[in-house]
Amino acid sequence: MDNAIAKPSKKEAFLAPLLKANPLFVLVLGTCPALAVTTTLEQAIGMGILFTVVLALSNVIISALRKFIPEYVRIPSYIVIIATFVTVVKLLAEAFLPELYSSLGVFLSLITVNCIVLGRAEAFAQDNPVLPSLLDGLGNGLGYTIAICIIALFREILGAGTLSFGKTFTFIPQVTIPLLKGDTWDYSMPLLQQPTGAFLVLGIVIALIAVIVNFRAKQAKIKKEEVKE
Amino acid sequence: MKENVKKGLITTLTLGAIVLGAGAIIGVTSAITSPFVYAHSLAGRLEAVNGVFPNAEDVSEPEEINSNGLVERYEVSAGGELIGWAYSGSQKSQTDTVDVMVGINADFTLERVEITSSSTNSAYMDAARDWLAGVNNGTTSYDDIPVGAGGTKTKQTISILVQAAIDHAKANAGGDAVSAELRLVRNVFPDATESDQGTAVELSGGTPQANYWELTKRYEVGENGETVGYAYEGSINPMSQQGSFVVGIKADGTFSRIYAVTLSLDDHDGLYNPSWIPGTYIPEINSGTRNPDDCIGGEATITAETINAMIEAAEADVLSLGGSSGEAA
């Protein structure tokens, strides 16, 4: 079959999802958990790590089995593979990171139906070898992690007024840094801890990224025209 | 046709192989993680009952009760033997909602009571805490509530929860050797030792409106060979409120206790306080501080009247039997 789309390099497969093709900020995929698990930075880091593990492992297995899975059963097969890794990650989190497991709740199971995971399986892993698929999974997972961490950072600092560590990852000492909220003063905006606040932060960040991307594109165009002249 | 069969076979084999592989991976992971998950879960349960059974070594998964203010029950063991049960309970008091953990020993005596949380820290609550310190160190009985010492209603609420826990423990102890009928009647006659299989009865109607309640089954209850009363299975459904009960009537036709097996009450758009029936009316008629027919002016009058009508019908039925038969089945 003549494939018109050029296959990305390994470097591109890993780096593009970090910013240029960020699954959350640019492609606006996986917004539901991104809004739900971003009330604290620790929670977002935890979700990001688990998500990356599921995405990378699913991509690897789907890529390895791509020649054995018939076209007409690929979607149910992918879902079973993804659900398996989600279950494995869930069991591991419940055993070794119980606080993270409780705080993520149903959103951990919902990774199974996250459109980024199935999307990367369909768009990349089923057509590419194992190593690029692994890098694509890691890149997208990392891009998603960075995105939800940015949202969480805004929401925790501005919404709760503090930055806390050690509550979800109990193996590190508990520290709460009072940034906008102290014993006698409070400049936090609790709205940002609510779902509404999550939408606002996501919208603002997407807008900022669009501004930066457009500005850079414009600059590049001007440079190109200058060179031509 | 042949193509379709081939396709079907390939689909089945592919998905079968993937599912088998998935099952193996999940099985191995589960085997590795389950001891850790159990340890976390046990630690959480031990922490929950630590206030009432500090020496507990093993605590069962909580059993849901949701009746008479009791929420959950844990079976507590130490040294491989059952040492008692821990009950979590929640009840509305004068101004506070009091959440408690009640520890009941295997011989049905009170071990300790701990207030786990309260909606406010009023002076009532402070007085109740002082009283509870006496209960826990054995200088005061849980049903000895001094009048005028402050926090009377809060103390009564805690006392009712303790009594409910003791009654529930008695009713549900004994393992499989105790019949389902005896377990049922012990909810209203905690010291019952015998019960018959139950007789179908058809009693319904009453006030305030017809068919708001019905009694369906009557059990003769005995203690050591002596008939002490009758337990009735019944239900109510006034104004979309629903509940099923066990009503205990002594052999002389007077009310003993009532136990709500299930209750589904709503607030009728704020016109009605659904917690008044399980939180105030039932505990008070069971403790004898309120007569069952004292339901006018409460916060759920029609439901309380229906319950009272059902109790009165059970009392009348016992009297119609001509008193006790003297020997339980």
Chain A residue numbers with beta carbons less than 8 Å from the beta carbon of B8 are: none
Chain B residue numbers with beta carbons less than 8 Å from the beta carbon of A80 are: 15, 18-19, 22
What local confidence, expressed as pLDDT, does residue B121 receive? 62
Decide if pLDDT at B19 tops 90.
yes
Q: Where are the alpha helices (DSSP H) in B118-212?
A: 123-136, 152-172, 180-185
Most distant CA pair in chain B, distance: 91
What local confidence, expressed as pLDDT, does residue B327 receive? 41
* CA–CA dist B76, B61 (Å, integer): 10
- What share of chain A in percent tops pLDDT 70? 97
- How does pLDDT run across B108-166, given as a tens digit for each residue? 889 999 988 877 666 777 888 888 888 888 888 888 887 777 778 888 888 888 988 98
Q: How confident is the model at residue B298 (pLDDT cuts 50, 70, 90)?
A: low
The shortest C-alpha distance from B30 to chain A (Å) reads: 7
Q: CB–CB of B281/B295 below 8 Å?
A: yes
Question: What does the pLDDT average to over A180-196?
Answer: 88
- Which is more confident, A140 or B294? A140
Decide if pLDDT at A81 tops 90.
yes
Chain B residue numbers with beta carbons less than 8 Å from the beta carbon of A91 are: 26, 29-30, 33, 37
Decide if pLDDT at B208 tops 70.
no
Contact between B30 and A91 using a beta-carbon 8 Å cutoff: yes
Q: Tell me, what's the ipTM?
A: 0.84
Residue A85 C-beta-side C-alpha neighbours within 13 Å: 24
- A/B interface, count of CB pairs below 8 Å: 53
Query: Is A95 an 8 Å CB contact of chain B?
Result: yes
What local confidence, expressed as pLDDT, does residue B323 receive? 52
What local confidence, expressed as pLDDT, does residue A124 receive? 93
Interface of A with B in 203-222 (CB under 8 A): none
Contact between B25 and A95 using a beta-carbon 8 Å cutoff: no
Chain A residue numbers with beta carbons less than 8 Å from the beta carbon of B19 are: 80
What local confidence, expressed as pLDDT, does residue A41 receive? 94
Contact between A95 and B33 using a beta-carbon 8 Å cutoff: yes
Query: Is B12 an 8 Å CB contact of chain A?
Result: no
Decide if pLDDT at A142 tops 80.
yes
Q: How confident is the model at residue A49 (pLDDT cuts 50, 70, 90)?
A: very high
Chain A residue numbers with beta carbons less than 8 Å from the beta carbon of B36 are: 95-96
The shortest C-alpha distance from B82 to chain A (Å) reads: 28
Chain B residue numbers with beta carbons less than 8 Å from the beta carbon of A92 are: 29, 33
**Cis geometry, peptide bond prior to residue B208 (ω within 30 degrees of 0):** yes
The shortest C-alpha distance from B187 to chain A (Å) reads: 36
Contact between B18 and A77 using a beta-carbon 8 Å cutoff: yes
In chain B, the residue whose alpha carbon lies closest to the alpha carbon of A99 is B40
Question: What does the pLDDT average to over A193-201?
Answer: 90
Name residues whose C-beta falls within 8 Å of residue A124's C-beta, 6 or more positions apart in sequence. Answer: A13, A59, A132, A133, A136
- Which is more confident, B295 or B112? B112
Question: What does the pLDDT average to over A122-147?
Answer: 94
Q: Which of B10, B29, B40 sits opposite A98 (nearest CB)?
A: B40
Question: What does the pLDDT average to over B183-188?
Answer: 86
- What share of chain B in percent tops pLDDT 70? 92
Residues B65, B69, B72, B78: what is their CA dihedral angle, to the nearest 10 degrees?
A: -120
Contact between A91 and B33 using a beta-carbon 8 Å cutoff: yes
Contact between A70 and B26 using a beta-carbon 8 Å cutoff: no
Q: CB–CB of B223/B193 below 8 Å?
A: yes
Q: What is the mean pLDDT of chain B?
A: 84
- Which is more confident, A195 or B68? A195
What local confidence, expressed as pLDDT, does residue B329 receive? 36
Distance of CA B283 to the CA centre of its chain: 12
The shortest C-alpha distance from B20 to chain A (Å) reads: 10
Question: What does the pLDDT average to over B204-227?
Answer: 80
Contact between A91 and B22 using a beta-carbon 8 Å cutoff: no
Contact between B22 and A83 using a beta-carbon 8 Å cutoff: yes
Decide if pLDDT at B217 tops 90.
yes
Write out the E strands in chain A. Answer: 162-165, 175-178
Decide if pLDDT at A1 tops 50.
no
Query: Is A76 an 8 Å CB contact of chain B?
Result: yes
Q: How confident is the model at residue A2 (pLDDT cuts 50, 70, 90)?
A: very low
Question: What does the pLDDT average to over B42-50?
Answer: 87
Q: What is the gyration radius of the CA atoms in chain A, in angstroms? A: 20
Apex A200 CA angle, A108 and A174, nearest 5: 50
Beta partners for A165?
A175
What local confidence, expressed as pLDDT, does residue B211 receive? 63
What local confidence, expressed as pLDDT, does residue A93 receive? 95
Taking alpha carbons only, the member of B131, B120, B71, B74 closest to residue B98 is B120
Contact between B14 and A91 using a beta-carbon 8 Å cutoff: no
Question: What does the pLDDT average to over B273-299?
Answer: 80
In chain A, the residue whose alpha carbon lies closest to the alpha carbon of B11 is A73
Contact between A70 and B10 using a beta-carbon 8 Å cutoff: yes
Q: How confident is the model at residue A3 (pLDDT cuts 50, 70, 90)?
A: very low
Residues B175, B176, B178, B183: what is their CA dihedral angle, to the nearest 10 degrees?
A: 80
What local confidence, expressed as pLDDT, does residue A141 receive? 95
Distance of CA B249 to the CA centre of its chain: 19
Decide if pLDDT at B328 tops 60.
no
Interface of B with A in 14-53 (CB under 8 A): 14-15, 18-19, 21-22, 25-26, 29-30, 32-34, 36-37, 40
What local confidence, expressed as pLDDT, does residue B324 receive? 47
The shortest C-alpha distance from A184 to chain B (Å) reads: 22
- How does pLDDT run across B83-94, given as a tens digit for each residue? 999 999 988 776
Contact between B36 and A77 using a beta-carbon 8 Å cutoff: no
Contact between A95 and B14 using a beta-carbon 8 Å cutoff: no
Contact between A95 and B40 using a beta-carbon 8 Å cutoff: yes
What local confidence, expressed as pLDDT, does residue B297 receive? 63
Q: How confident is the model at residue B95 (pLDDT cuts 50, 70, 90)?
A: low
Decide if pLDDT at A152 tops 90.
yes
Decide if pLDDT at B325 tops 70.
no
Name residues whose C-beta falls within 8 Å of residue B198's C-beta, 6 or more positions apart in sequence. Answer: B181, B217, B218, B219, B233
Specify the range with the lowest mean pLDDT, choosing from A58-62, A192-196, B269-273.
B269-273
The shortest C-alpha distance from A90 to chain B (Å) reads: 10
Question: What does the pLDDT average to over A197-224?
Answer: 90
